[in-house]
Amino acid sequence: MKSTMNQHPPTGAATVHAVRAPRPARRPGHRPDAQRRHAALAVTAAAVMALTAACGSGGTTNAAPVANGKAQSGSGGSAGYGTGGNGYGADSGTDKGQAGGDGYGSSGDSSRPAAQGAPAGTLALRQSPELGPVVTDSKGMTLYRFDKDTAKPPNSACSGACATTWPPVPADDTAAASGMTASALGSVTRADGSKQLTIDGWPAYRYAKDTAPGDTKGHGVGGTWNAFAPDGKKATAGPATDVSVLDQPKLGKLLVDKEGRTVYRFNKDSAWPMRFGCNGACLDTWKPVAPADKSKLKDVPAKLISTVTRPDGTKQLAVDCWPVYTFSGDKQPGDVKGQGKMGTWFAVSPEGKKITSPATG
């Protein structure tokens, strides 16, 4: 059989040629489906960028519902004293030394009404590592005073936007801490007719940026705001102390440890010869005070401070050679619930003597 390949078609038969479109020149290693993938990725990236621009960048951002063209604030806050939606909203930039030049630590419309704060309840003293004992409300939120106010007569210079950042503390249902004089508490009538708590004549405020018990973020803001010390004066920054003096309303000046707790001595101990009358179960209630660094004393003569070794080999602080203890029933600076217990436990004076009678004067 003869091969018919490469033969011409019969005369008169139609000749059909397949016409192919010219192919684009290919780059080495490039495929058409890669182009499609790149285009899809570009569209996806553009969509992601659009969403990011709409929701904000960085961190977790929750979109706020919008009414009348304005974003509504969320509820937020902590224990009624946090920022955001609680009426205390601190304005951004009101940190220490940034008060907009007015010392108020706030900015914005000064015609806004003051936020209504919660009653303070029974005040407390909290030991701040930087400031010593400071006054707080019953929830542990620090109270502040303002240099532009006056104490004699009491008058508040903080209103409008200032009183939003620094909510005035209501005078109702407030009692003094055990380390404060009850007569130091009073009230002042604000321009809106509400009563504001005063301490030693100074109007008292909270700070909107304090969100947890013990916060003292408002101290030093604008150079005009300071946490309250127990006597109504400004809490003062200074080096940490291991032993210092506290002026307690009932007993007068007495020694406290680095946590601000009253220290006691025990009649059944002795200074010479050294004897420890508190051992065993006694130590569950009366805790030996740790030795002190003599470079960290405040208003206490260094010659009175020494360290003694207990029978179990542990070290204990001694004042005028007497071992000293804290009482487990004292919960805050200024508490003296251990005073006179069983007729044998007594607070210690700055001279190292036991205090047996109330303060006079």
Task: Pick 183 or 108 by higher pLDDT.
Answer: 183
Residue 105 confidence (pLDDT): 60
Q: Say if residue 101's pLDDT is above 80.
A: no
Residue 23 confidence (pLDDT): 52
User: Which pLDDT tens digit goes with each residue over 30-60?
Assistant: 455 555 555 444 444 443 333 333 323 333 3
What is the mean predicted confidence (pLDDT) over 79-106? 40
Which secondary-structure segment (H or E) carries 161? Answer: helix 161-165
Which residue type, as a one-letter code, is found at position 300? V
DSSP conformation letters of 109-121:
-TTSPPP-PPP-E
Residue 75 confidence (pLDDT): 32
Which residue type, as a one-letter code, is found at position 159? S
Give percent of the chain with pLDDT exceeding 70.
Answer: 67
By the 8 A CB rule, do 353 and 272 touch?
Answer: no
The pTM of the full predicted model, rounded to 2 decimals, is 0.64
Give the least confident one: 5-14, 44-53, 162-171: 44-53
Residue 117 confidence (pLDDT): 79
Q: How far is CA 179 from the centre of its chain?
A: 22
User: Which pLDDT tens digit goes with each residue over 308-337?
Assistant: 999 999 999 999 999 999 999 999 999 999
Which residue type, as a one-letter code, is found at position 123? L
Q: Is 315 helix (H, G, I), strand (E, B) or coil?
A: strand
Cα separation of 306 and 170, whole Å?
A: 46
